[in-house]
Structure 1
Amino acid sequence: MGRIMALDIGGKKTGIAVTDTLKIAAHGLTTLPTSELIDFLSTYTSDEIVERILVGFPRHPDGKPSSNSPFIEKIAKKIAEKFDAIEVEFVDESFSSRDAKEAIIKSGAGRKKRRDKELVDKIAAVIILQRYLKHI
């Protein structure tokens, strides 16, 4: 069975989360420079079966795409072209970063962890993936 992966793509960094092979649990994998994403995916998918990649798509509260949306669409298109055997799907990422920050605070993490943008990005990817898993 293949895994499902979620990406929280940003202009500089991308948070990545994956499911277990049974698609029951989501866990944070890493945060890396967005410029290294395609190479990372090439390496990861050579070792692990990934059947679907969820790309968090940013929208404003009124439902309109954010200013970052065209950049994310461009990256998603590159992923879909390079990994044509893997389904690439856009999913709503509304408030995932805010929810990630709240989760870090609730975990009792210190101030340094709460300000760690890479940790926030990785947890945002986990939240995107968890939301998706609730509906399948």
Structure 2
Amino acid sequence: MRILAIDYGSKKCGIAATDPLQLIAQGLETVPTHRLFDWLETYLQAEEVSDLVIGESLQLDGTDNPIQAEILGFERKFRKRYPNIQLHRQDEFHTSRRARESMLAMGLKKKDRRDKQRVDRIAAALILQDFMETRG
């Protein structure tokens, strides 16, 4: 079974998944937030998923970001639709910055590093990788 991760945003969400053995995290897609459940429905029909990790978005002082209310609403709907998939939160502090740094290290051109969808996918993969490292 795979683990999915979402870098949740008010306009779009980066999505990452593990391989079936849960060894490698890989960015999959960036999906408009209003289409996220449609995307999940299609994906979950094709793949077995045991867990979903959602980035925990906090301010520097540890208080919730305004997006937290949207994330909580998403989680409620997700739990109702998919009660057999475990939900987890993972700190997403600096994942977008780390994504840009990794793109620079990969030698991507400036234009490619500015591609927000690519940044979102890589950020989701980093959230997933962090989750995998902290749980086991």
TM-score between the two structures when normalised by the length of structure 2: 0.95
Equivalences for 1:1-136 in 2 at 5 Å? 2-135=1-134, 136=136
Instruction: Give 1:33 shift.
Output: 0.3
Instruction: Give 1:116 shift.
Output: 0.3
Corresponding residue SS for 1:23: coil
Instruction: Give 1:94 shift.
Output: 0.9
In structure 2, C-alpha distance between the alignment counterparts of 1:74 and 1:105, rounded to whole Å: 35
Matched letter for residue 35 of structure 2 = E
In structure 2, C-alpha distance between the alignment counterparts of 1:80 and 1:90, rounded to whole Å: 14
Where structure 2 has 5 or more consecutive residues not aligned to the other structure, the ranges are none
In structure 1, C-alpha distance between the alignment counterparts of 2:94 and 2:75, rounded to whole Å: 20
In structure 1, C-alpha distance between the alignment counterparts of 2:56 and 2:79, rounded to whole Å: 15
Where structure 1 has 5 or more consecutive residues not aligned to the other structure, the ranges are none
Q: Deviations over 1:25-59 (max 9, x none)?
A: 00011111011110111111111000000011100
Q: Which runs of 4+ in 1 moved over 4 A?
A: none
In structure 2, C-alpha distance between the alignment counterparts of 1:94 and 1:76, rounded to whole Å: 20
Matched letter for residue 8 of structure 1 = D
In structure 1, C-alpha distance between the alignment counterparts of 2:7 and 2:75, rounded to whole Å: 11
In structure 1, C-alpha distance between the alignment counterparts of 2:121 and 2:75, rounded to whole Å: 18
In structure 1, C-alpha distance between the alignment counterparts of 2:127 and 2:93, rounded to whole Å: 9
Paired residues, number: 135
Q: Deviations over 1:10-36 (max 9, x none)?
A: 011100000011111000111110111
Of residues 58-67 and 114-123 in structure 1, the stretch that sits farther from structure 2 once superposed is 58-67
In structure 2, C-alpha distance between the alignment counterparts of 1:77 and 1:48, rounded to whole Å: 22
Corresponding residue SS for 1:4: strand
In structure 2, C-alpha distance between the alignment counterparts of 1:34 and 1:93, rounded to whole Å: 18
